[in-house]
Structure 1
Amino acid sequence: MLDSVRIQRRQSEIRQALAELVGKDSPTEDETRQMETLDAEYRANEVKYRAALIAEDTERREAGAELETRSDREWSDLMCQFEMRQVALSLDEGRQLDGATSEIVTELRGVGGYRGIPVPWEALEIRAGETVADGTPDPIRTAPIIDRLFASSVAARMGGRMINVGVGEVEYPVSTSAVTAGWAATETGAVAAPAAYTTVDRPLAPNHNLGIQMRLTRKTLKQSGAGLEQAVRRDMSGAVEVALDRAVFLGSGSAGEPTGLFAGASAWGIEETAVDATATWAEIRSEVVGFITGNAATGPGDVRGLFRPEIWDGMDGTVWDAGSGITEWDRMAGRLGATVLSHNALAAPTGDPAESSAVLTTSAGGVAPFFVGTWGAIDLIRDPYSDAASGGLRLTALATMDVTVSRAVQTRILTGLQ
Structure 2
Amino acid sequence: MLDSVKISRRQSEIRQALAGLVGKESPSEDETRSMETLDAEYRTNETRYRAALITEDAERREAKDDLETRSEREFSEMVGKFELRQVALALDEGRQLSGVTAEIVQELRSQGGYRGVPVPWAALEKRAGETVSSGTPDPIQTRPIIDRLFPASVAARMGGSMINIGSGEIEYPVTTSQVTAGWQSSETGSVGAPQAYTTTDKPLAPDHTLGIQMKITRKTLKQSGDALEQAVRRDMNGAIEQEMDRAIFLGSGASGQPDGIIADAAGYGITVTAVNAAASWSAFRAAVTRFMLANAAASPSAVRLLLRPEVWDAMDGTYVDAGSAVTEWDRLTKNIPNVTMATNALAAPTGTPAASKALLTVTAGGVPPFFVATWGAVDLIRDPYSDAASGGLRITALATMDVTVARPVQAEVLTGIQ
Q: TM-score band, normalised by the shorter chain?
A: 0.7 to 0.9
The CA distance in 2 between the partners of 1:97 and 1:5, in whole Å, is 39
SS of 1:145's partner is coil
Query: What corresponds to 1:366 in structure 2?
Result: 366
Q: Which letter maps to 1:331?
A: R
User: Where does 1:23-38 land on structure 2 (aligned, <5 Å)?
Assistant: none
Number of the residue aligned with 1:22: none
Query: Are the equivalent residues in 2 in contact too, given 1:172–1:202 (CA < 8 A)?
Result: yes
Give, in whole Å, the separation in 1 of the partners of 2:4 and 2:388.
Answer: 68
List aligned pairs for 1:347-386, cutoff 5 A: 347-386=347-386
Scaled by the length of structure 1, the TM-score of the pair is 0.86
What code does the residue aligned with 1:205 have?
Answer: A
Assess if the C-alpha contact under 8 Å between 1:176 and 1:200 holds in 2: yes
In structure 2, what is the Cα distance between the partners aligned to 1:324 and 1:127? 46
Matches within 5 A, 1:6-25: none
User: 2:94: which partner in 1?
Assistant: 94
Q: 3-state DSSP class of the match of 1:329?
A: helix
Correspondences of 1:230-309 after superposition (within 5 Å):
230-309=230-309
Change in Cα spacing, 1:172 to 1:148, as seen in structure 2 (3 Å) is farther
SS at match of 1:320: coil
Residue in 2 aligned with 1:173?
173
Who is 1:339 aligned against? 339
- 1:351-386 Cα offsets, whole Å, 9 max, x none, are 111101000001111111111111111111111111
Q: Distance in 2 between matches of 1:71 and 1:286?
A: 48
Give ranges in structure 2 of 5+ residues lacking alignment.
Answer: 16-40, 131-137
Aligned to 2:77: 77
By how many angstroms is 1:402 displaced? 1.1
What amino acid maps onto 2:231 in structure 1?
A
Residue correspondences, number:
411
SS at match of 2:320: strand
Cα deviation 1:95-144 (Å, max 9, x = unaligned): 000111111111111111111111111111122349xxxxxxx9664555
> What's the RMSD between the two structures over aligned residues?
3.4
Given the superposition, is the C-alpha separation of residues 42 and 325 from structure 1 closer, same or farther in structure 2, using an over 3 Å criterion? Answer: farther
For 2:355 and 2:161, locate their aligned partners in 1 and report how far apart those are by CA, in whole Å: 29
Per-residue deviation, 1:328: 1.4
SS of 2:236's equivalent in the other structure is helix
- Going from structure 1 to structure 2, the CA distance change for 1:205 and 1:50 (only over 3 Å counts) comes to closer
The answer to whether the aligner puts 1:396 opposite 2:405 as a matched pair is: no
SS in structure 1 of the partner of residue 63 of structure 2: helix
Distance change in 2, residues 1:195/1:87 (3 Å): same
- TM-score, normalisation: structure 2: 0.86
Deviation of residue 181 (structure 1)? 1.1
Give the Å deviation of 1:326.
2.3
Relative distance call for 1:318 and 1:95 in structure 2 (3 A) is: same
- Cα distance change of structure 1 residues 91 and 12 upon mapping to structure 2, 3 Å threshold: closer
Q: For residue 328 of structure 1, what is the amino acid of its counterpart?
A: E
1:147 Cα offset (Å): 5.2
Separation of aligned partners in 2, 1:191 and 1:274: 41
Q: Secondary structure at the match of 2:351?
A: coil
Structure 1 residue 94, shift from structure 2 partner: 0.7
CA–CA distance in 2 between the matches of 1:192 and 1:282?
41
CA contact (8 A) 1:242 1:344 kept: yes
Q: 1:192 maps to what in 2?
A: 192
User: Percent of counterpart pairs with the same letter?
Assistant: 68
Which 5+ residue runs of structure 1 have no aligned equivalent? 16-40, 131-137
Shift of 1:61: 1.9
CA distance 1:168–1:186, shift in 2 (3 Å): same
Residue by residue over 1:196-255, the C-alpha shift from the partner in whole angstroms, topping out at 9 and shown as x without a partner, is 111112111111111111111111111243210110011010000000010011101011
Counterpart amino acid of residue 202 in structure 1: K
> What is the aligned partner in structure 2 of residue 217 from structure 1?
217
Distance 2:166 2:51 in 1: 47
Q: Which amino acid aligns with 2:248?
A: V
Residues 299/225 of structure 1: CA separation in 2 closer, same or farther (3 Å cut): same
Q: CA deviation at 1:167?
A: 1.7
Q: Specify the code of the residue in structure 1 equivalent to 2:173.
A: P
Instruction: Report the residue type matching 1:230 in the other structure.
Output: Q
Cα offset for 1:340? 0.2
